[in-house]
Every structure is written in structure tokens, then in C-alpha cells.
Structure 1
Amino acid sequence: MRIVKALRHSSIEEFIKYDHNSAKWPLTMIGGVVARVLGVRRSYARQLSIVSAMFRVGWRGSSALAVATVDRLYLSDSKAGENITEAALADLGPCERTSKFFNDPKLMLDGIVTVLRNPGDASKGVIIINYNAYFLPFLKFYDVEKILERFHLILEPSWAGLCEADILAFTQFKAPILVQAYEPRDFAFIEQLRSNLIPVDVGPSWFINHDMFHSPEAGVHRPIDLIMVAGWARFKRHQAFFTAIAPLVKQDPNFRIALVGYPVDLTKEDIQQMAADAGVQQVVEFYEWVTPTEVADLLRQSKASVLWSKFEGNNRAIIESMLCDTPVVMREGHNYGVKYDFVNEHTGQFASENDLCDVVSGLIERQPTMRCRNYIMEHRSAEAATERLAEAIDAIELLHPQHRESPSPSPLAVKVNELHGMSYFRQSGVDFKESYTWLGSHVLK
């Protein structure tokens, strides 16, 4: 009963947040009025929170409202933005992800805060921070002003919707800061602010270890028909997926589904009950807390992969699937409804609840002739993302006379993303030991 009530509540919440958003401009207008009243009362953090929430889900008119609000709070009247940041930092306490950093901030280095280039005589070094959860701790624990004198900074958000206090806090600095903005809507938002934040159109899913996630050997049998790599979480929409795929399972009792995940706000037992409620439990096999190597192996055993969430970040599992030559089914309307160019005739297809079964059947039939990995390696690899970041940094440095005639700086290291942080791709952090030592010496006392 608990899970049924929770799912019913989730469905209502999903409808309010994500369905028919182009028609929700009256809600944006009402929210805008409330936000302005809060601004008059100088409740700036609550004002930003309301505007951020509407922008994140994409209600019509929320982009313009977000740009105007951020301009007033952070850019025209920087004191309001500073107050929001100061209050957020004062309230920032340890959580499961960050508690160890409160005890020793240096543990953020080489994994959460990662050096991509050492400083040179005529060029800055480059560091990158991934996951929103670590942006404010970096500000809280480190002398960022000093660090920005010696390093370029790249922020890698973990969720779509970039009108967030933990990102906007970085507008307080004069130095340009790169922000990965993989959704066109987020890219436009950051660009329209005309602040020190500079958008780059790459995201976390670009940085996949393609040595680990690779194609199976030719002719290898794929016993799994469909795989979903997703934490046991409501927003992953397992129940909706089971309901939509049930007709195909009924038609083919030998159909095999693999679920790979770990507990988030649901448990494996919750997901098993959902499968039973939809009548598909007999074809579903569960894999909990498996290693990345095991995930890659399961993807290579699968004919197709599915992502069925309505809204989240820049999902890595779909690119991991494609690198294993496993085409992906992605729910139509995902995030802001962009028809992503990497979901195409070579890599997969969009589907709705009404045609999921047909799309899956078609992809399974076509899979042996599809070349997903080739497309990703050419257009969306970790190396390609690193080149885009390097080009953005070059453009920044060309604006400063001291860099125009300087020797070419060393290239950026290629990093890859893992479940709990970053690591280097075919390189060692030892190459950046001096940079990490220097950064560690700038922990605030």
C-alpha cells in the first residue's frame, strides 16, 4: 500500500511538472508574481527557489523570468546574490555524499575536483568539478579567488536546469568560468546572462570509458532482450516501463529483461513488486550493486537498452549502451523534449508508452546491423568532449593579451566519469601531483 500511494503521488507530481508544459504559462505568471512579492520582502533565497523550480521543469515563459530574476539578484544587485550564497554556505552541512569532505576537504582532490592541465609559465592550469552537490562545498572549503588566479575552472552539473544557486554562486568572481550545458535551453540561459559564466555544449555522458564499454566479439549471442540501467528511484519510472512493455512480454513469454540498479528512494523489493503488479516479474532478472565491468558485460549481452525517465541529468547509461553496440530506446519528451542528435538511425529511437513494444521489437531486429559505437566514437567520445573544452578555454585566453603570443599550452587530460566521481583515461594523476599539492594548500582555515 505504501508504494502504491507513493507511485500515485509521483504520477500527479510528474504531470504537474513535466506534461504539457507549453500550456503552463498561467502557472509561470502566478509564480512570477509570487517571486516578485518575495523580492520586495527581500526573501531573495525563496524568490530564486521558486524561479529555479519553474525554470528546471521548463514551463512556458520560465526562461525569460529566470534570466530577469538572476540579473536582478546576482548581476545588477550583486549584494542580493552574495546574500543568497552566504546563507547557503552557512547552512551547508554534511550529507552522505559530502561528510568526509567536512572532515578533510583535501579528499575532494583527484576525483571530485580534477586537474586537467597544470599551470604553465604563460597559461593557467585547468580544473573541473563534477556534480552539483560539490559546487558549494568547493566554495566553502577552498580559497577559490586565489585558485582562479592560477586555474581555469569548469563546472559539470549533474542535472538539467541550470538556474540554480550552487551554479549562480560563481558569478561573484571576475574570472570566466565554463559551465557544461548539454541542454540547448540551459545553454541559452547561461549565454543570455552575459556574466562570467560561459556555456559549453558537452555533458557528463560524453566522458565514458570506451575501453571498458566496448563491443562484444563478432557473433557473440545476446541472451538479454532488453536492459535498463537505472537506480531504484521513482523518477526512473520502472512502473510505467513495466506497464508499457507488458503486451510484448505477454506476446513472447521467453522475452528477457535485465534491471541493473541500486537503492535510491526505492528498494529492489519495491521494483520487484512493481514488476509483479504489471505481470512481468517472470521475465525480469535483477542485478544490484554490480561493478562497472559487470554493467558493461551485461550491456554486451543485451539486444537493446531503455531509458524511461521523464526528467533527469545527462544520463550516462545510454551512451555506455551505445558504446557496447546496444541500441537505446529513449522516452519521447525526455527533459525538455529535445530530439537529441545522438539518438538516430545508427544508435536508437524515441518511443512513447503507446509504441514502446513496437519500437523495441524493431530495434531488436535491426541491432545486428546497427553500428552504435562507431557513431559515438566519432561524435560523442571523451576525447571529443575534451577537445570542445580546450577550444572554449583557448577562446577565453585569446581575449587576454598575455596569452596571444605565448607558447601553446599543454593539452587537456582526458577524464572519464564513474558513479561517484572522475578518473583519468589512460593517464595517471601522478602527472598532476604538484597541482594537487598546491590546491591542497589553499584549503580555508
Structure 2
Amino acid sequence: MGRSKLWVGTEIALRDLNDRIVLRGLPSRVALRLGQIYLRLGQRSRALSLIFFAHRSARAESVRSRAEAHVSELLPLAHAASGSSRASFEEALGGRVLVLKRPKPGERGVLFVMFTELFAAIADQVDVQRLLAEYTLVLEPSWSGYCDRDLLFFTQFEEPIFALTAERLDYDFITRLDSNLHPVFIGSGDWVDPSIAEPFIGAEKRYDIVMNAHWGPSKRHRVLFRSLKALGSHCRVALIGGPWEGCDRDAVVELARYFGVREQIEFFERIPYAQVMEVMAAARVCVLLSLKEGANRALPEAMFCDVPVVLLKEYVGGCQKNVVPETGVIVPQADLTATLKRMIRGEGAFRPRRWALQNIACVKSGERLNEIVKADAQQRGFPWTEDLAPHKNAPESRYLHEDDERRLAPFNDDLRRFLVDRSEKEEPNRSKVPIPVRLALKDVSDQLTRASVASHLAYPIGRALAAFGDSDRALSLISRAHRMSRAPELRERCEAVLQGLLPVTHALHVTGTDPIERHFGKRLLVLKEPSAKERGVLFVMFSELLAAIAEQVDVKRLLADYTLVFEPSWSGYFDRDLLFYTQFEDPIFVLSGERGDFQFLERLASNLIPVPLAPCDWVDPSVAEPYLQSEKTFDVVMNAHWGSSKRHHVLFRALATLSEELRVALIGGSWEGGTRESVAAVARHFGVREQLEFFERIPFERVMQVTCSARCSVLLSLKEGSNRALAESMFCDVPVVLLEDHVGGIHKNIVPETGVVAAERDLAETLVRVARGSQNFQPRAWALANVSCLESGTKLNELLRASAIERGLPWTRDIAHHANSPDAQYLDAADAERLSEANRGLRAYFK
């Protein structure tokens, strides 16, 4: 049930007001003033963030100038970038991180890096000085506004670094900065491969207007609908997009209905790239209506489709340089309707494709970049014997020629040698909030979590929204209340409201930004191939892929050929990404290791069938075998990222109360803004830093070796999915310690043979008792008999087989065995080869 017209109208008015505030630059003025105050108070880090924001969001030159004066005082940024990035440098190799020229003895290579989030990942995960000794970096930021900590981090180095800078204000800023960052007047929209549009040139014009933009409010579809209403009912529009910023297609449909133009619009969601080009080429004009972006690629793609474009004068971003008389027009928003009317009628001598071919094709941009980097190398007396490999963005970087991909693949893989252990880069804690205050706040937060305070607040609001008919927001709040609640009676009340909101039949609220194809054979794993008479079995890991499948796949066709088995990432199954699948009749099996989730799905009585297995039940026992006889050099091991949710401070507090010292191994990586340095600072606060040895981003074999070298393993978080580190510890024959108020699937595996469930107040005593061997544990023997990947596979197979037979369906072949490490993979290489074609064949189910 949609929202009332009054509600939608109010939201539109608020967004219009927000646009006026942005255009007047009010947020930048407020941020600059606050930044100046923090600077006087000596709060450098907060001042930096506010001043940078002021510069990026400023529309007035006076604000930018004042902000820049402070930036010059604060540079260089010699510490890590704005926070630990969740992006992984290693996972981006050969895509968002791409070698364009190989290094040789005496001659540097060239490395292309897309997206600002990866700049932070490089600062956090890479020895940048060593990397710069062998490679010249070319950075392509995601967004306009280069007064950004993740980019300016690189000003500390002497070597020149090239920053693609399509927006004139950014180009001028980098030029005035006069640092090692060299602006290059090329943007991310300048790497389109012209050949993608060739099959569709001259297509019949079925649409007057096309807009290729996600469904988020920043794309401002309402501005188009307002003009469309004035243009009349004869005007036809194609909208290409996908969910973003909490908005799905239904939100855009709702806006279109409000303006009375829904029947004039055809929606295309998550369509293949070739179809995007086909739809674009079938339009008379393409529009972009956002106020700020990086260098939008949809407009250059329209140009290569020989479609002229319209851009707003109020827009800030890299597209402006490409909108010239041959390609389109730049107009004030007030003139949008009149401009569209003229262009739809065919007024104007536009030649967008011809101009684009001559100026911004990926080959042309590559040649310009090559000449700039080559000239700089020669000017500094460095050799240049090989040019850059041509590449394109579609959407990630990829080589234009397969020969270059084969030739440079070893060099992309070799970039892993620049990854560093953060222990080499230890720095003092930089937070301006004293550690005792942070720990006190964390303790309060944990107590609120235990008391389900947030749940009790979310529930009445969600229930009220449901009564008012706002089912979308009601579902979000009620599901959050249920997931966070530790009170059975509150969960029951949430479930009662849910019955009036099911089934969840519309697209999900969270975008699966990743194309799922790259997960075929890993996070989406065919365990049994389908045949003409018998369904296959498809195993799906991680909750975000549930959303991605709903967005990108024809689920009904998929269910006709496959039985689905879901393995959600996190405890708390009252989740929209999962409940979306209740609209289907076919049974879907959901691994439900946490007792509360199992019972919830049972009470739901839908097609979602709970299975008493969890992600922690798919460990391959053989991974630990080489290290089972390792010397016990540590009393305790904790394998957990450095984020605050893992609660390292609880361990340090316990260690500080002991009269004897325990040796502790900490295995982890940066997460949630937490770093090895921030964890070490907390350890120093408790006076236990010397008892710890850190292991960061180590290979999986090394993880097993360190774990086998410990006498006990500990997990201290309050809630997770089904922690695999404790399961791995059991196969290392290491007993485990879990807190009694932990919520997660690993709880079911803590039995007298494997470890202890303890109250937090008893943690110190429990660690000593377990580490000193005062109890006869047999964790590996129990795990081998109950939760190995082989045992779990056999249990799952029996459940699936019994269900198929009960429903009168054939079952002549069993599923293949697999393990999670961390993605799913077959245990038997023969299964991997046999099922490879079935995994590739999942492409056939794309929408």
C-alpha cells in the first residue's frame, strides 16, 4: 500500500527546499565556521573534516578560497586517510586497480586506480612508498570535490601522481595546491568504448526522453516529472535504473503518479549493458538532472548512441566539459521544459557521436593520458620504451584488447607483494575522544543493546506507520525492532504486525551494487545441476546477494530449475532481503543456526524452510591438519577484525585483572574505522600491550598455524551471524570461550567437548581455567563428528532429498560437497570441473 498524496507532496517540497539550501551553499558556510572553531580549539582532525566538506560543497568562490587557506596549513596529511576503508585493494586487482604499463628494470610501470574508496584502501593496506618506486599512479576519484582527505593523503609523497580531473573547479584547485598531484583534464566519462553502441545507431525513436540514473533522490526524477506534466501526455519517457540510497523503483513510480505521468513512462531495471545502449539509442534526447556528481557516464554513452543531451546549469561535475554545441545543451532548471520541447521537435544541429568519437572515446583519452605521463617521465629523465595499454570503463576498468589482458595479468597479480602488515606502520592513537570516555560510551551502548532499548523505540513508530498505510517504512522499522530485540514478547508483537505486511512483493530497499555474475561458482554455487526432469540445487551465501538476485535475476524462472539454499550473513532473519522470497510458492531452504531465527521461520509458516545448519558448519577439517602438533606459544587467540563490535576492550579489561600474564595472539584487519593502531592504543590503556602479538591480513594457512599455537580461542561480540573463527579453532583442537549473551549460530556448537559459555564478569577466570587445561576438552573430535563440511553436506542433502520426495519430485543425484573458506568452494576438483558449465549457465536467468 502506497503513501498518501499529502505525504508524497510533503517529501517533494522538502527535497525542493533542500536543493535551494544546497544551491545557496549554506551547509558549506556552516561547516567552514565550525571547522575554524575546532581549529582554534586544537581539534585538528575534526577541523580537517569540516573544512574539507566546506570546500567540496561550496558554491561560492569566497568559501572555497577561505577553506583552501586552511587546507594549505594542514597539508601534508602524513597519516592514514580518513578511516579504514572497507574496500579491499587485493580484491580490486585487475579491475578497479589496473596495470596499464608493466614495470621494467630502470623503468616505472603505470597503475590506474578507480574510485575514491580505494585511495583509503591503498593508504591503509599498501606500502605506498614501495609501490611508487615501481609504478606511477593515475587516480580516478569517484566524485567532484577534490578537497578530500582520501585523495590529499597522497600529497605527502614526492613522486608525481596524476589525478583525472574533469571538473574545472577541481582542476583549478589541484593546480593551485602546487603539490605532487598533477591534474589531468580527463574524467571517468571519457573511457566509453564507442563500439558498444554501433549495433543500435539509427534505431527507431520510440522514446522522446531517456534518463539513465539510479532511483535515489539525488538523481531528482521529480524534476523530470514536473516538466513531463507540462509537456503533455504524448511525451514518452524511458527510465533506466536500479535501487539506491534507500529508494527502489516503487518510490519513483509513486512520484510519477503524484505528477500524473506514470502512463507515459517505461521502466528498465538492472538490464544488461547492451540493452541499455539499445534503449538509449531509441530516444531523441537524454537528460541528467542531478546537482552534483563525478563524471557521469550515462551522458557520454548517450552521445555515442548519437543522442543529444541536456544538462542543468546548476550541475557541478565532470560532464560539463563534454556538453558542447555538437553534443547538447546546458540550461537553467527553469528552462528545462522549453528546452526539452525544442529538442524533441528536432531543433538544433547536433552531431553527438561524431564529436564524441573525435574527443572522448576511450582510445582518444588513452592517447592523451599516455602523452601526459610519457612527457612527465622524459622531463624527469626517466626512460619510456612502452606505451599504456588502452582500456575502458564498463563499469570497472578493463583492457580494450584481450592480448593486453593476458600480457598484464601477471603484473596485476604481482601487486599483492605491496600489501603490508599494519604492524609495520604503528602510529599513536589519533582520536580526540579520550580512551576512557570511548570505552565508557561503548559499555553504555552494550548495556542498551542487552536491554533492547532501540527495539522498544522502533516498534511503536513502525506500528504507527503501518496503521497509516506506510507499509514500506513500517516494514523497515518493525524488522529492525525484531532483529535487535532480546525480549521474546517484543519479537512476538513485531511478528504480529508483520503478518499484515507480507508478502514483500516489490523490489528490495537495498541496492546490490555488484553484478552477481562475478560470484558464480563462489558465493553462488551450483551444488547439483538441473536436468530435464530434475531440479538442481543452488547455494547462495551472504544477505547482500539475496537483494542482488531479486534485482538482477528472474527468480520465478530460476526456481523452476533450481531449489535455492540461502545462507544469510547475520543473525536476525526478520529482514526484508530474506522476506522478499516469501512471495514465491516453491520451498526455499534457509540455514538457521541461531535458535531464535530457526523458531521465527517456523512460526512464519511460509515457503522459507529453516535448516539447523550455519556458516560455521562448513569448515574443511583438512585445513588445520598440518599444524595440529604446533607448539603452544599463546594462551589465547582472538581472530576478529579491529572494529569496535568485536569488543577487544573486554579481553584487555579481563587481562588487566589477572595476577599472571597470558600471552595473546590477535588476528584481524581494519574494519568499521578500527585499525590495528586503535586496538593497540586500548591495550596500552589497560597496560596489557606487551602481552599481545598482532597478526594482520595474514594468509589463511598462517591463520590456522597461529590458531593451533594457542591454548584457547575467544569471541566477545554480542551478536553476529555464525562466527567461523571459533569453528576453525575447534578443528585446530583448540577449546573456545563464548559470552553467554552472544546471539549467533555458533552458540549451538559450544558443548562440553568444545568449550565454555561464560558470563562477561567471569571472563578472566574462565580464560585462565581453559588455557591451563583444567578441563578435558575434545573439540576436534566433536567437530569432526558433528559440524565438518562433510557432515553438514550430508545433513543438507538428506533434508533436500526428503523434501523433494515428499513433494513427488525426482531425486536421482546427490549434491556436491563444499566448504566455506571464505567463499563457497567444492571439496572435490572433479565436482568443480563437472559443475563449471552449470555455474556459467546461471547467466541465462538474468532479467
TM-score by length of 2: 0.47
Kindly indicate whether residue 82 of structure 2 is the aligned counterpart of residue 82 of structure 1.
no
SS in 2 for 1:390: helix
The 8 Å contact of residues 181 and 187 in structure 1, kept in 2 or not, is answered as yes
1:426: which partner in 2? 828
| Residue aligning to 1:347 | 754
Contact kept? 1:413, 1:424, Cα under 8 Å: yes
Match of 1:231 in 2: 641
SS at match of 1:437: helix
Structure 1 residues 33 and 247: alpha-carbon distance in aligned structure 2, compared to 1, 3 A threshold = closer
| Aligned-partner SS, 1:153 | strand
Partner Cα separation in structure 1 for residue 791 and residue 676 of structure 2: 36
Q: How far is 1:131 from its partner?
A: 0.8
Deviation at 1:368, TM superposition (A): 9.2
In 1, Cα distance between equivalents of 2:494 and 2:539: 26
* Identity in percent: 25
Q: Does structure 2 conserve the Cα–Cα contact (< 8 Å) formed by 1:214 and 1:325? A: no
SS at match of 2:620: coil
Distance 1:247 1:215, change over 3 A: farther
1:92 and 2:511 correspond? yes
Q: Does 1:195 align with 2:630?
A: no
Instruction: Give the equivalent residue in structure 2 for 1:389.
Output: 796
Distance across 1 between alignment mates of 2:669 and 2:746: 29
Select which of 619, 623, 627 maps to 1:212: 623
Give the 3 Å change call, closer, same or farther, for CA 87–324 of structure 1 in structure 2.
Answer: closer
SS of 1:360's equivalent in the other structure is helix
Match of 1:386, SS state, is helix
- Residue in 2 that maps onto 1:298: 706
Q: Within the alignment, does 1:163 sit opposite 2:574 as a pair?
A: yes
Kept in 2, the 8 Å contact 1:3–1:270? The answer is no
**2:595 aligned partner:** 184
Which secondary structure does the structure 2 equivalent of 1:410 belong to?
A: coil
Query: For residue 11 of structure 1, what is the aligned residue in structure 2?
Result: 443
- Which of 1 and 2 has greater Rg? 2
SS at match of 2:442: helix
Give 2:530's match in structure 1, choosing from 104, 116, 119: 119
C-alpha separation between the residues in 1 aligned to 2:471 and 2:815? 39
Do 1:180 and 1:202's aligned partners in 2 also have CA atoms closer than 8 Å? yes
Pick the aligned partner of 2:501 from 48, 51, 73: 73
SS at match of 2:770: helix
Aligned to 2:419: none
Q: Deviations over 1:191-233 (max 9, x none)?
A: 1111111110100000112111237455x42111111000111
Q: Kindly state the Cα deviation for residue 267 of structure 1 after the two structures are TM-superposed.
A: 0.6
One-letter identity of the residue aligned with 1:436? N
**Structure-2 residue corresponding to 1:442:** 845
Unaligned ranges ≥5, structure 2: 1-431
Q: Structure 2 CA distance, aligned partners of 1:148 and 1:371?
A: 42
Residues 819, 827 of structure 2: 8 Å contact kept = yes
Aligned to 1:38: 465
Residue 227 of structure 1 contacts residue 306 of structure 1 at CA under 8 Å; is this kept in 2? yes
Q: How does 1:249-288 map to 2 (within 5 A)?
A: 251-253=659-661, 255-265=662-672, 266-288=674-696
**Does residue 317 of the first structure (1) align with residue 736 of the second (2)?**
no
Between stretches 269-278 and 338-347, larger displacement belongs to: 338-347
Aligned to 1:335: 743
Deviation at 1:45, TM superposition (A): 2.5
RMSD over aligned Cα atoms: 2.2
Query: Residues of 1 paired with 2:845 and 2:617: CA distance?
Result: 30
1:371 and 1:10 map into 2 onto residues whose CA distance is 35
1:358 maps onto 2:765 in alignment: yes
Q: Could you say if the C-alpha distance between residues 412 and 278 of structure 1 is closer, same or farther in structure 2, counting changes exceeding 3 Å? A: same
Q: How many residues align?
A: 412
After TM superposition, give the deviation of residue 341 of structure 1 in Å: 4.6
Q: 1:258 to 1:311 in 2, by over 3 A?
A: same
1:102-117 superposed matches below 5 A: 105-117=516-528
Q: Which moved more, 1:426-435 or 1:325-334?
A: 426-435
One-letter identity of the residue aligned with 1:432? L
Distance 1:351 1:87, change over 3 A: closer
Contact 1:200–1:388 (CA under 8 A) maintained in structure 2: no
Which AA in structure 1 matches 2:838?
Answer: S
Partner secondary structure for residue 366 of structure 1? coil
Deviations 1:238-273 (A, max 9, x none): 01211012222xx224x3111000011101100000
User: In structure 2, what is the Cα distance between the partners aligned to 1:148 and 1:321?
Assistant: 37
Relative to structure 1, is the Cα distance of residues 37 and 393 closer, same or farther in structure 2, using a 3 angstrom cutoff? same
Contact 1:321 1:328 in 2 (8 A): yes
Q: Deviations over 1:68-97 (max 9, x none)?
A: 2222111xxx4xx224xx252xx6163xxx
Q: C-alpha distance in 2, partners of 1:339/1:139?
A: 28
Q: Distance in 2 between matches of 1:415 and 1:169?
A: 27
Does residue 596 of structure 2 align to residue 174 of structure 1?
no
Query: Match for 2:492 among 33, 40, 64?
Result: 64
Residues 112 and 339 of structure 1: CA distance in aligned 2, closer, same or farther (over 3 Å): closer
- Please say if residues 637 and 710 of structure 2, whose CA atoms lie closer than 8 Å, have aligned partners that are also in contact: yes
Cα 1:191/1:215, change in 2 over 3 Å: farther
Asked if 2 retains the 8 angstrom alpha-carbon contact of 1:215 and 1:373, the reply is no
Deviation (angstroms), 1:440: 1.4
Q: Distance in 2 between matches of 1:387 and 1:54?
A: 36
TM-score by length of 1: 0.87
Distance 1:45 1:11 in 2: 33
Letter in 2 for 1:279: G
Cα deviation digits, residues 129-177 of structure 1 (max 9, x gap): 1111211011111121111100000110111110000000111212111
Q: Does 1:132 align with 2:564?
A: no
User: Are 1:306 and 1:329, in contact at CA under 8 Å, matched by a contact in 2?
Assistant: yes
Equivalence for 2:29: none
Higher relative contact order (CA 8 A, sep 6+): 1
Distance change >3 Å, CA 208–CA 87, structure 1 → 2: closer
Q: What amino acid maps onto 1:12 in structure 2?
A: V
Q: Does 1:307 align with 2:715?
A: yes
Q: Distance in 1 between matches of 2:519 and 2:702?
A: 27
SS at match of 1:211: helix
CA contact (8 A) 1:120 1:409 kept: no
Letter in 1 for 2:530: P
Q: Distance in 2 between matches of 1:184 and 1:129?
A: 21
1:410 paired to 2:818: no
Q: Does 1:51 align with 2:478?
A: yes
- C-alpha deviations, 1:42-81, integer Å up to 9, x for none? 222321222222221233223212322222111xxx4xx2
